[in-house]
């Protein structure tokens, strides 16, 4: 919502008459919410694999929803074809406006008096990572490492770091669907060339178990994409003994009700 909201406000001031997205997940929901708040119509094109719950949530935000294609690529192609000169199109992660909006997270943390010496987050397409990095740099936290978590089936960032540049995975798999970008943005890879980025992979089961641990500890329900980051601590993947101020970014959960999370847990036993 931070990145999408910032971008939506920018586009509105530039005269946009409609907002368009091709994401049925958190990004699409954020566009729908931003459009309703700003009084602008919203069109969201989603693939056939989108859960009905996500479609219902989009429609609750008054968005027009078109279901098209078997993958995001096909849905995105149709969304792009619907654009006019007065429309604003939202990429779910590869947009400097989104990164600027996400960066405000670090501004607020520092304003509250915390200067983190490590940040833990999940990586899908790399938009959150790019924004957090931007926020760290402009707050003078150039040496603060970022621990970038993915599940084994959604490891496009890990693959990029190993390949020496963004590569397209043949397929993504698993329950952490919000991390399901087959290729990360170039910016996410470039950051790792100058900043301390530590790529960590966890299993689907560890991500889901972390969601339940977080729910028990904090009474907040998040989805497996967020659970991947939480698993860094709950599954003991990261030695935090050398850090004093660790910032955990817990985000995402709009499309995963407790019933679905329970089904995942039972299936992954």
pLDDT on residue 165: 97
Confidence band for 92, pLDDT divided at 50, 70 and 90: confident
pLDDT higher than 90, residue 164? yes
Asked whether the predicted pLDDT for residue 181 surpasses 90, the reply is no
pLDDT reported for residue 213 = 97
107-158 tens-digit pLDDT: 999 999 999 999 999 999 999 999 999 999 999 999 999 999 999 999 999 9
CATH class of 2-90: alpha beta
Reported confidence tier of residue 5, pLDDT bands at 50, 70, 90: very high
Asked if the domains 2-90 and 96-267 are classified in one and the same CATH topology, the answer is yes
pLDDT surpasses 80 at 24? no
Mean per-residue pLDDT of the chain? 93
Domain ranges of the chain: 2-90, 96-267
**pLDDT band for position 19 (50/70/90)?**
very high
DSSP conformation letters of the chain = -HHHHHHHHHHHHTT--EEEE--SSHHHHHHHHHHHHHT--EEEEE-TTS-HHHHHHHHHTT-EEEE-SSSHHHHHHHHHHT--TTEEEE-SS--HHHHHHHHHHHHHHHHTT---SEEEEE-SSSHHHHHHHHHHHHTT-TT--EEEEEEGGG-HHHHHHHHTS----S---SS-GGG--SS--HHHHHHTTTS-EEEEEE-HHHHHHHHHHHHHHHS----HHHHHHHHHHHTT-S--TT-SSEEE-----TT--HHHHHHHHHHT-
The rounded percent of the chain whose pLDDT value lies above 90 is 80
Residue with the larger pLDDT of the pair 24 and 68: 68
Q: What is the pLDDT of residue 237?
A: 82
pLDDT tens string 208-265: 999 999 999 999 999 999 999 999 999 988 888 889 999 999 987 777 889 999 999 9
CATH class of 96-267: alpha beta
254 or 20: whose pLDDT is higher? Answer: 20
38-90 pLDDT, tens digit per residue, is: 999 999 998 887 888 889 999 999 999 999 988 777 888 899 999 999 999 99
Is a pLDDT exceeding 90 seen at residue 186? Answer: yes
């Amino acid at each position: 919502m931070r990145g999408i909201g910032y971008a939506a406000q920018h586009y509105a001031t530039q005269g946009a008459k409609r907002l368009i997205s091709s994401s049925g997940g958190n990004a699409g929901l954020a566009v729908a919410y931003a459009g309703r708040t700003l009084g602008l119509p919203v069109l969201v094109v989603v693939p056939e694999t989108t859960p009905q719950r996500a479609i219902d949530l989009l429609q609750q935000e008054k968005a027009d929803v078109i279901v098209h294609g078997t993958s995001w690529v096909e849905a995105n192609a149709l969304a792009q074809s619907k654009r006019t000169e007065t429309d604003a199109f939202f990429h779910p992660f590869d947009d400097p406006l989104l990164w600027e909006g996400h960066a405000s997270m670090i501004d607020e943390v520092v304003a509250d008096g915390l200067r983190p010496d490590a940040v833990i987050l999940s990586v899908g397409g790399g938009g959150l990572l790019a924004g957090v990095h931007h926020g760290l740099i402009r707050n003078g936290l150039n040496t603060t490492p970022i621990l970038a978590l993915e599940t084994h089936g959604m490891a496009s960032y890990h693959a990029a770091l190993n390949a020496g540049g963004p590569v397209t995975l043949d397929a993504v798999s698993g329950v952490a669907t919000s991390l399901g970008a087959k290729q990360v943005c170039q910016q996410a890879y470039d950051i790792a060339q100058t900043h301390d980025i530590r790529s960590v992979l966890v299993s689907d089961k560890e991500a889901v178990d972390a969601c339940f641990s977080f729910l028990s500890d904090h009474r907040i329900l998040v989805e497996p994409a967020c659970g991947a980051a939480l698993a860094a601590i709950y599954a003991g993947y990261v030695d935090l003994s050398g850090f004093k101020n660790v910032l955990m970014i817990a985000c995402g959960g709009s499309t995963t009700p407790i019933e679905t999370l329970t089904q995942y847990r039972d299936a992954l036993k």
